[in-house]
Every structure is written in C-alpha cells, then in structure tokens.
A and B are shown apart, each in its own frame.
Chain A
Amino acid sequence: EVQLVESGGGLVQPGRSLRLSCAASGFTFDDYAMHWVRQAPGKGLEWVSGISWNSGSIGYADSVKGRFTISRDNAKNSLYLQMNSLRAEDTALYYCAKDIVIAAAGGTAFDYWGQGTLVTVSS
C-alpha cells in the first residue's frame, strides 16, 4: 500500500524558516518524480514544487521561487521542502504527491497524496 506521510509543519513567524518532510513507502520511491502542492484555508490547490526521480529536473511556482528548495533522499525514501523567508500568504496545508508515470522528467498527474501538514505563518 502506497503511503505518503508529511511532517514538519507548525506555527512560524514571518521571515523565519521551516523544513517539511515526506516519508514514502509502498512503492519504489526512486522511480518517480515527487511534488509539493499546497492549499490555503478554504482555497484551491496550488502546485509548489516538483523534483524528478534522480533530482535532475526541479521546478518551482513563481510564488516560491528563490525562497523554497525541494530535495529528496532516495536512500531514505524521503522528500523535503526547505522554506525560507516565510510570508503570511504561505499559510496552507502542504501535501506531498507522487507522479503516476515512472521516470517522467517534467512531472505528470498525481496518483497518491499524503494527508498534508499545516504551515501557519503569523506573528
């Protein structure tokens, strides 16, 4: 059974940093690109960042470019999101999601999602 479990969320002050983690199991992690998608309270979905299976291709939404860094450790079946210079508008539930297609460099649709970790940016 595929499982994605996010952690690392919490309350943080504007301008501070936070690191999210996603622990994956139930599939061959290093075969698939992975992504972070967020959802502000009561709002829609926003793709944040994605990373290819071998970390050779990485992308970011314009809203987080230069502030967030995605990475993965295939030996640990884990995905990360380092979030710096946090703003109030970064407040959201952050989901980790898996590509549906093996070894897709640009990312595809997302067939499995975690339950999310909540990040609240407030003073």
Chain B
Amino acid sequence: EIVLTQSPGTLSLSPGERATLSCRASQSVSSSYLAWYQQKPGQAPRLLIYGASSRATGIPDRFSGSGSGTDFTLTISRLEPEDFAVYYCQQYGSSHTFGQGTKLEIK
C-alpha cells in the first residue's frame, strides 16, 4: 500500500500570502495519479487538482499542483479567506489512499 505523508500538519498564514503544501509518497505514484481535495467543516471534500497538475472544473487559477514520482505540492498563490480549510492528497495509481491532511488556518 502506498502511504502518503502530508506536511506540515498545520499551516498558519494570512490572507494574501502564498501557501505551499507537501505530499510525499512511500513509493512512486504511477503516471502522476495524484489528486488534491479541500474540505471545510461540515462539508464533503471538493476536488481541486487531479493528475498532479490539472485543475478541476471551476477551481480558481490561484490553486496549482506540481510534482511527480514521490513528491507533490499544492500551491495557493494568494490566499483568500475562503481557502482556510483542510487539504488532503490522494493517490489513485495503486488502489486508493489519502494523506492525513494539512490544516490551513488563519494566522
């Protein structure tokens, strides 16, 4: 099973700042089959990025994904108030696994 480790566990930033979230896999993720989700309290997860770097429909371009192999990054270029949430990465190259999440909180 591929284990995904997200860092940091909590990220404290201010609106307007840049956020960089990391997802590291225990083995290579085939074909960059990696996705990122955003989850707010009381809501279902929302797909942001799939295929490591493709934005899902309706996702603002301040969200971008990059990486390959075992190291992946989600970048939010300029934080808006609505971006403060928990973010999960998921690999779907070998079955499916999720990372433990990164909480992005307002500083």
Contact surface of A with B, Cβ cutoff 8 Å:
35, 37, 44-47, 50, 59, 61-62, 95, 100, 106-111, 113-116
Contact = CB atoms under 8 A, between A and B. Distances in A.
Contacts of A100: 47, 50, 56
Given A100-B50, A109-B47, A62 B1 contact: yes
B51 to A, nearest CB: 8
Interface of B: 1, 33, 35, 37, 39, 44-47, 50-51, 56-57, 88, 90, 92, 95-101
Contact of A59 (B46, B88, B95): B95
Contacts, number: 58
Contacts of B35: 109-110
Contacts of A115: 44
